[in-house]
Structure 1
Amino acid sequence: MSDLKTQPNDNSAEAFVASVENQQKREDAIELLNLMSDITQQPPVMWGDSLIGFGQYEYQYESGRRGRWFRVGFSPRKQNLTLYIMNGFSQYQHLLAQLGKHKTGKSCLYINKLADVDIDILKQMVALSFQTRFDSEI
């Protein structure tokens, strides 16, 4: 399967979120944990030491390399909250325009704090991303 170092494990997502030092980031992480749990109807799963994922899918590159990853997730990083929208942002331009203060990477949405964004728009993005069908789902 995959030789990625970041794998799902049995660590508690709730305990990880409770251990976040910065109070605002911890409160935002608790809200994201609840938001993504409600939207996905999936339990949070720790991936590695600092990623929380919901759902899983398998992928295969043209090279034949295979792996598995979560469908949506987040990490309360020191600089920002990083949300993982695995299908990227090309289809979300209309929502990103309404979201509020953020930055994006290929599949990462960077937010300083949840108060900077429209939570209803964020919920729409998480729901749409989670509903995306990948090649193979677990």
Structure 2
Amino acid sequence: MSATEVEEFLAGVTPEVRRRDAQTLLDLMRRATGEEPALQHPGIVAFGQYHYEYASGRSGDAAAAGFAPRRTASVVYLSDGTDAHADALSRLGPHTTGVGCLYLKNLDDIDLAVLEDVVRRSYATLTSGTFGRRAREGSEG
């Protein structure tokens, strides 16, 4: 999908704070990854790709960075796991995490330089070769 489709999708995001934050994340992820966005379903803005292959033999390709503007929070996907970024995330500002997701309610309240660094490092980790673990397996591996 084209950048125009991404822009059209983001124009329809509600509430307003989520639409504003989505535009900020779009620009931030472009800088951090050097990639152009692509719209994936359901409503995920993705940047680049990485290949994974787990010990189980399962393998495939996935977005190397991305975000989704959801009604209650913007979700930033960190497929190498949020634990890998715990030190930086402690300096980010108000957020919550899942195994591979960072939930942000308002980008005005966080340190965008820290977020950009986290996205840059996650992207670099994922695209440095075949990634061999799941986010829920922690930072070892």
Q: TM-score, normalised by structure 2?
A: 0.83
Aligned partner of 1:23 in structure 2 is 16
Distance in 2 (CA, whole Å) between partners of 1:114 and 1:128 is: 19
1:86 to partner: Cα distance: 1.1
The match for 1:59 among 46, 52, 66 is: 52
Distance in 2 (CA, whole Å) between partners of 1:104 and 1:56 is: 22
Cα displacement string for residues 66-105 of structure 1 (whole angstroms, at most 9, x for unaligned residues): 2211111000001100000111122322211111100111
Q: Which has the higher helix share?
A: 2
Aligned partner of 1:34 in structure 2 is 27
1:87 aligns with 2:80: yes
The match for 1:49 among 15, 39, 42 is: 42
Between 51-60 and 74-83, the greater mean CA deviation after superposition = 51-60
Distance in 1 (CA, whole Å) between partners of 2:39 and 2:16 is: 21
Name the amino acid aligned to 2:47.
Answer: F
1:107 aligns with 2:100: yes
SS of equivalent to 1:57 = strand
Alpha-carbon contact 2:14-2:71 (below 8 Å) kept: no
Name the amino acid aligned to 1:30.
Answer: Q
Q: Which runs of 5+ in 1 are unaligned?
A: 1-9
Aligned partner of 2:139 in structure 1 is none
TM-aligned CA distance change 1:134 to 1:109, over 3 Å: farther
The match for 2:121 among 103, 107, 128 is: 128
Let me know the Cα RMSD of the aligned residues. Answer: 1.4
Task: Give the length in aligned residue pairs.
Answer: 127
Q: TM-score, normalised by structure 1?
A: 0.85
Distance in 1 (CA, whole Å) between partners of 2:75 and 2:44 is: 9
Aligned partner of 1:72 in structure 2 is 65
Aligned partner of 1:118 in structure 2 is 111
